[in-house]
């Protein structure tokens, strides 16, 4: 059982006021030391409800969005156990997922970010995470299908490879758009899919192709 911090509990309380109701998600936020995922110069802002730069043109997402996307995954009717994360980034979202799902698979295209995130998982004794250096648009087919998929960068359109890697009843939570972005919740229903738009968001773009 992870131990919460006073600052973590304050952040979780703020997120509850913002509309996050899942107690397991709020507890994971309270128990995750967000400062560990930030450059030293920004650690004093760790428990603010804001996105922050982590280098390489990437950001650590706003805690509200991390919690909201996680809550949407957990609300799936299929009781998800294995989740695929596209865009490891700092590893903060990964750490939240690792406390709530049996198995987390995470893909990152920037090798240096992946290396740092892997080190942080070890520091936190989160050993149910598998990481891959690769193109997020392709997912991780050899480990699928997945009960849930979360994408932490905005795609210009929903990647078909990710939809294909969903289990029946599984959910894909993904920001879609370029200048204007919306958070989409896509649920696999047998051979078909349903799609719901949740709210407006702002993410860095999901880059296809070359890994670095």
Place of tokens 């995954």: 73
Assess whether the previous peptide bond of 145 is cis (omega < 30° from 0): yes
Q: In this structure, are residues 166 and 188 in contact, taking their beta carbons and an 8 Å threshold?
A: yes
Going 83 to 87 to 93 to 96, the CA torsion angle's sign is positive
Residues 6 or more apart whose Cβ sits within 8 Å of residue 37: 46, 54, 60, 90, 91, 92, 95, 120
**Cα–Cα dist 174/26, whole Å:** 21
Calpha distance 85→106 (Å, rounded): 5
| Phi, psi dihedrals of residue 107, rounded to the nearest 5° | -115, 130
For 172, the token pair is 């894909």
Sort 110 into a burial class: Cβ within 10 Å, 0-12 / 13-18 / 19+: buried
Task: Provide the 10 A C-beta neighbour count for residue 82.
Answer: 19
Q: State the catalytic residues.
A: 61
């Amino acid at each position: 059982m992870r131990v919460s911090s006073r600052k973590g509990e304050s952040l979780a309380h703020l997120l509850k006021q913002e509309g996050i109701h899942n107690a397991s998600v709020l507890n994971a936020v309270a128990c995750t030391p967000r400062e560990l995922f930030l450059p030293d110069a920004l650690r004093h802002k760790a428990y603010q409800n804001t996105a922050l730069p982590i280098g390489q043109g990437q950001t650590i997402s706003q805690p509200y969005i991390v919690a909201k996307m996680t809550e949407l995954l957990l609300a799936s009717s299929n009781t998800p156990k294995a989740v695929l994360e596209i865009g490891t980034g700092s590893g903060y979202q990964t750490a939240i997922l690792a406390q709530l799902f049996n198995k987390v698979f995470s893909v990152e295209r920037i090798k240096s970010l992946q290396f740092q995130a892997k080190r942080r998982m070890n520091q936190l004794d989160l050993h149910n995470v598998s990481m891959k250096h690769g193109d997020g648009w392709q997912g991780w087919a050899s480990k699928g299908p997945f009960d849930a998929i979360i994408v932490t960068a905005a795609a210009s359109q929903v990647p078909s490879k990710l939809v294909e890697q969903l289990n029946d009843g599984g959910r894909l939570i993904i920001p879609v758009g370029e200048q204007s972005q919306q958070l989409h919740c896509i649920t696999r229903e047998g051979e078909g899919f349903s799609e719901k738009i949740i709210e407006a968001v702002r993410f860095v773009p999901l880059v296809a192709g070359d890994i670095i």
